Amino acid sequence: MCLANAHEGSHHSAPDALMRDAATVSNNEEVAIRHISLDWTVDFDRQCIYGSALLKCEALKDTDKVVLDGRELAIHGITIGDTKVDYDVENVAVFGQRISLKLGDFPQGSTKDVLIKYSTGEGPKASALQFIEKELTADKVKPYLYSQCQAIHARSIVPCMDTPANKQTYDAKVKVPEGMVCLLSALGTGNEKTEDGGTIYSFNQPMPIASYLFAIVAGALERREISPRCDVWAEPSVVDKARYEFEDTEKMLATAEELMGKYVWSRYDLVVLPPSFPFGGMENPCLTFVTPTLIAGDRSLTSVVAHEIAHSWTGNLVTNGNWEHFWLNEGFTVFCERKIMGRLYGESLRQFENITGWEDRMLPTINETFGPVHNYTRLVPDLTGVDPDDAFSTIPYEKGSAFLLYIEQQLNIGERYEQFFREYLAHFAQKSIATDDWKNFLYEKMQDKKEILDNIDWIGWLYNPGVPPNKPTFEEELVQECRDLANLWGNASDEEIANIDVEQFNKMTSVQQVKVLDSIEALSPLSHQRVEKLQEKYRLNETCNCEIRFSWLLIALKAKWTPVIPQALAFVAEIGRVKYVKPIYTKLFAWEESREKAIETFKKNIPFMHPITVIVINSLMAKK
């Protein structure tokens, strides 16, 4: 197979080797970290974590140093056995601290156990952490702490090689105050009480993981069992609702296993976080984190759980080697998430999600958010000097899964495509890879289909910005009804609207309702009178479903309907999900009438937001 010139004209060279991760300052090409032992105390008064990390380092080449990533860490001392290690800490723009350890002779193949005593930055300085005072939790009895390390925030809680090119196993002992439960992205191995009434929890993660998968949550948490290997954790007033909402978790996991192979992480637990959690879900190993906004009461938003389950293979086992290949995590995961949902709830749902992903998420990101020549609209973007959080968008998700769907349709080999996925996952399990590793493996396994593969526009799909060169085939029936209803709202006379059949909308599933609203939003702005009618007819200000509320707010904001301002501000003050907060703040900042109030609301809320969300909104404000 000759792929040597396949990337001619693309934006960067040497595509066959995994390029150096531009988002780490560590010397991960010289040294590997194989294991980390953490000894932590969570200090709710100072709002930090302090203790130590013991790093088992292995020299991959002859060297004399280990260079680690950090961010706002206070290093108290570094030792190997009884010997002090000389070190140097330097601040680096965007990427945090370069912590250089002078180790003397460190020949290839040898190992050294390095003990680092340190504390994290306090409060929001530890960009991965949010400490929440007890008054602001659901039950108001204990304070709360949670982390979000992806993409490059692990370095703010542990000195490490914060690149997905390095994987390590870990164990931990974590001390928390009286009455609090602590959970990590690992298996719990017991706990003991301390003299002051606190508890020390012990953990082990026997599978090697990338640093972005370190995770901690501590609070007044309770547990409910879903199945022998799945529990859900949440504050007491939330936990039973959560248990109901996530009832199908075991079924989803079993379906994922049929599709992707044996589940190798032992447990799959969920923890429901406070509303400030910046994401819908985060695939922390053994313990997926989810936003409480998934609890709609009708199990209608649980595809996020299918998504995080799929990451147990695509992402956590087979991992993007650097953030330019992020679509190998997210595009593959979306593709598998929809296969799981299709098998459990019907193929038409899968089709539906594929279409809305293409037309309501991918296309607007390309054409409106970034513009069609923007670097970030490439499936494999150039991230030199860029914080990966800054490039985050629907592109790796939707362009990525559409590409996999397109290839499936071109090959047209039925079951064998899913078989290929299983082989790919088994082959690259526990590795960190680049796009070409997948592509080469595809060619190898599909030698009899070489002609079809050669006809794929690889450069167009992978490296060119803008709308992909081909559109996969979608079954549009279910979607058409939604588009028709949307067009009615755009075009009908006042009289027709007055007589509109409200039941047609009410009978739809919530994903269909969202589609109706998103299709309305894509039309030219509605008149104020029509916006009012829309809200009134469909009782949109009463919905508890966040997806519906969000789509409604975007329609009203686009129409510049003044009464939406307080509704939108209340929404972003309560919910921290970046997917909602970023587009809403963007609109509020851009509109004369809401700009001042939006800035005021944001500034007032900073102390109650996760640091990641603050960074995102701050950069929006700067852009105006």
Positions touching Zn ion (CB under 5 A) are: 330, 333
Q: Assess contact for 405 and 355: CB atoms under 8 A.
A: no
d(CA 252, CA 378): 31
Residue 212 falls in the annotated catalytic set:
no
Site string for ligand BES, 385-424 (x = CB under 6 A): -------x----x---------------------------
Q: Bridge partners of 219?
A: 181
- The candidate with the shortest Cα–Cα distance to 504, out of 523, 520, 482, is 482
35 is in an annotated binding site: no
Q: Assess contact for 612 and 581: CB atoms under 8 A.
A: no
- Asked if 280 is part of the footprint of ligand BES (rule: CB under 6 A), the reply reads yes
The binder of ligand BES chosen from 49, 182, 217, 282 (CB under 6 A): 282
Supply angle C-alpha 152, 153, 156, rounded to 5.
Answer: 130
User: Closest approach of Cβ 330 to Zn ion, in Å?
Assistant: 5
The binder of ligand BES chosen from 201, 203, 279, 489 (CB under 6 A): 279
Output 560-568 pairs: Cβ under 8 A, ≥24 positions apart: 560/525, 560/591, 560/593, 561/528, 561/531, 561/532, 562/593, 564/531, 565/593, 565/594, 565/597, 567/541, 568/594
Work out what residue 282 binds among ligand BES, Zn ion, none; the CB cut-off runs from 5 to 8 Å by kind. Answer: ligand BES
Q: For residue 528, count CB atoms less than 10 angstroms from its CB and return exposed for 0-12, middle for 13-18, buried for 19 or more.
A: middle
User: Closest approach of Cβ 333 to Zn ion, in Å?
Assistant: 5
- Asked if 292 is part of the footprint of ligand BES (rule: CB under 6 A), the reply reads no
Residue 135 falls in the annotated catalytic set:
no
Exposure letters 234-265 (e unless 16+ CB within 10 A, then b): bbeebbeebbebbebbeebbebbeebbbebeb
- The candidate with the shortest Cα–Cα distance to 404, out of 470, 467, 347, is 470
Q: How many residues bind ligand BES (CB under 6 A)?
A: 15
Q: For residue 603, count CB atoms less than 10 angstroms from its CB and return exposed for 0-12, middle for 13-18, buried for 19 or more.
A: exposed
Residue closer to ligand BES, measured from CB, 295 or 534? 295
- Asked if 283 is part of the footprint of ligand BES (rule: CB under 6 A), the reply reads yes
The binder of ligand BES chosen from 31, 48, 57, 151 (CB under 6 A): 151
d(CA 270, CA 601): 31
281 is in an annotated binding site: yes
282 is in an annotated binding site: yes
The binder of ligand BES chosen from 274, 281, 321, 381 (CB under 6 A): 281
Residue closer to ligand BES, measured from CB, 396 or 472? 396
278 is in an annotated binding site: yes
Residue closer to ligand BES, measured from CB, 39 or 390? 390
- Asked if 307 is part of the footprint of ligand BES (rule: CB under 6 A), the reply reads yes
12 is in an annotated binding site: no
**Active-site residue identified among 87, 144, 397, 585:** 397
Chain residues that interact with ligand BES, rule: CB under 6 A: 150-151, 279-283, 304, 307-308, 311, 330, 392, 397, 579
Instruction: Just list the catalytic residues.
Output: 308, 397
